[in-house]
Amino acid sequence: MSDNYVIKMYQKCLKLPLGRKLFSWVVSKKAPYFATISPIVTDLRANRCEVVFKKTKKVQNHIGTAHVIAICNGLEMAMGFMCEASIPKNLRWIPKSMSVEYPAKAPTDIRCVAEVPADAWKPGNLAVPVKAYDTSDNIVVEGTITVWISEKKA
């Protein structure tokens, strides 16, 4: 078992009925904007996080697909929890920018993934690749969220 506090909390929740939903609800209370998409963290480990959300009326746009801003919210959540679950204890991170493209419409529920290699954690800019998939595994949004990595003050 990891000694990272986020992964420990996630693994503890997985032992409970509806553990993924419980974990996701608790973390959405800490960062309330994430609650707007009713996300569920389905995979959380060092250097990888996956978040899913349903294409409900509240996240749809005028053409009935998942709105790209809702998808970006899911991508940012996946990136943030991946960072918290992965960053070495002597470092800290903060998001700096996001760049995304929309290669396809998003007609279904959405799966957001953020993943970096294990050796990515160094001071400076870290470009985190993010992708959002529909239920047929088509990429509907992809891009990069750049985070600034710095040493923690002593």
Looking at residue 12, which CATH number applies to its domain? 3.10.129.10
Residues 6+ positions from 135 with CB-CB distance below 8 Å = 108, 109, 111
Distance CA 87, CA 66 (A): 31
Selection from 153, 132, 21 nearest residue 71 by Cα = 132
Sign of the four-CA dihedral 141, 149, 121, 91? negative
List helix spans (H) across the chain. Answer: 5-14, 19-30, 68-86
Determine the structural domain holding residue 91 and report its residue range. Answer: 5-151
| pTM, entire model | 0.94
Distance CA 61, CA 64 (A): 5
Q: Which two tokens stand for residue 44?
A: 């959380």
Chunked mean pLDDT (size 10), the chain, 154 residues: 85 94 88 89 97 96 96 97 95 97 97 97 98 98 98 90
Structure confidence at residue 33 (pLDDT): 86
How many domains does one find in the chain? 1
The SS3 call for residue 35 is helix
Distance CA 111, CA 130 (A): 11
Distance CA 20, CA 90 (A): 28
Query: Which residue in this structure is represented by tokens 């290699």?
Result: 117
Structure confidence at residue 2 (pLDDT): 66
